[in-house]
Amino acid sequence: MSDAPATKLPSMGLREGAGERESDRPIRVMVVDDSHLMCWLLTRWIGEAPGLELAGIASSGSEAVATIGRRCPDVVLLDLEMPEMGGLEALPTLLKICPSAKVLVVSALTKNNAGVALDALAKGAVDYVSKPSASGQNCDGQEFRRALLKRIEAICRPPEPRPVRRPRQAKLDTNRAALGFGDGPAMPVVRKPFSMVVPRVIGVGSSTGGPEALLRFLTPLAPAIRRAPVLIAQHMPAEFTRTLAARLAIATGMSAKEGMDGEPIKPGHIYLAPGDRHMTLAPSKPPTIAISDAPPVRYYRPSVDLLFESLVDVYGPAVLGVVLTGMGSDGMEGAGAISKAGGSVIAQDQASSVVWGMPGAVSTAGYAAGEGTPEQLAEVTVGLFEMERP
């Protein structure tokens, strides 16, 4: 979930109703935190940031529940650990009272509460930003401020208008190896054809909204996963990835773990890049995972681009690249490498993405053979593996 620094919030585009431009309407932010210092910092940053407006402050989940209805925020910055009612307990009620609000968890990140943070994402929070700590690695207050403002901008800015037709039935036309979109006008973006080579490896990239999208994509894939390894680069802190891997294992019934340096990959296994570390595939026999602390690539570590490019080096056209929800454009260059090598790339659609940055970049660049919801992408993936049957 690490992202590029942002210096200012760009204009927000057009908003329907009342003739008001979205760029003229400030994003209303509600702060829910029991720390006086954190409330002071957050409200100060909100007041200083162009395009933001403070909607209110609450010092507990119960106070937030009691007041959110009249404050009508666009974004709620929600702490998890608070007296009376914690953020996780309050979250479902907050979204029920104000379903249009985007909840961004802002809380101290430790190994102990990584599971709680993932629970919050499962209950409807859109993303997580870790508070800086006085000790330890996460102590850069300015980086925290940049990451927070960038997340608010990403989850609130309406995407660029683009007509998107979701597949009526996500099936594979094996005569031309293309995704069937049913009757109607052609997609506005030129699609690459699917590869006629059956995938031997699946590479997945995701960021904001990724944990839930990964569960939705991977859970139906057990038959396909048993015949190919899955390597995932998800932007998130180191404390998260081991917990996320455990949840993927439970959901899919397959082996899922953080990748280890020098580990041979096996079909039927899911490998997740350790948080804040690059994961690539080394062209050995058998292919092995390489874990690196090299500098971020275009601001990202782990880098989806590096992962995808390394898969092409080993498997050539037998790579299936999957780009799920996330901010930024990480994965676009790697998707291009897969496409140029003759492999297949699919991307999450705009309607189902929390942030249509990464998949949008891949789709509009013309590298995607098709797009859809995570469940539809899973169905197409299974279809690609069915090609090897007589």
Q: Give yes or no: 130 in active site.
A: no
Catalytic annotation, pick one of 59, 330, 339, 363: 330
**Residue-wise burial string across 93-127, b where 16 or more C-beta atoms lie within 10 A, e elsewhere:** bbbebbeebbbbbbbbbeeebbebbbbbbebbbbb
Whether 268 contacts 281, CB under 8 Å: no
Catalytic annotation, pick one of 60, 130, 207, 353: 207
Residue 390, Cβ density class (10 Å: 0-12 exposed, 13-18 middle, ≥19 buried)? exposed
Task: Kindly state the tokens that stand for 56.
Answer: 């209110």
**CA dist list (Å): 46 to 43, 51, 148, 150:** 5, 9, 10, 12
Task: Kindly state the tokens that stand for 60.
Answer: 């507990």
Instruction: Please give the full DSSP string across 266-281, using - where no structure is assigned.
Output: -TTEEEEPPTTSEEEE
Q: Give yes or no: 261 in active site.
A: no
Task: Give the span between the Cα atoms of 325 and 257, in whole angstroms.
Answer: 21
Task: Give the span between the Cα atoms of 31 and 43, in whole angstroms.
Answer: 8
* 278-282 and 288-292 beta bridge pairing: antiparallel
Q: Give yes or no: 330 in active site.
A: yes
Task: Kindly state the tokens that stand for 156.
Answer: 């609130």
Instruction: Please give the full DSSP string across 209-240, using - where no structure is assigned.
Output: THHHHHHHHHGGGHHHHTTS-EEEEE---HHH
Of 136, 166, 153, which Cα lies nearest the Cα of 208?
Answer: 153
Whether 84 contacts 32, CB under 8 Å: no
Task: Kindly state the tokens that stand for 329.
Answer: 């454009």
Catalytic annotation, pick one of 33, 59, 206, 235: 235
Residue numbers annotated as active site: 207, 235, 330
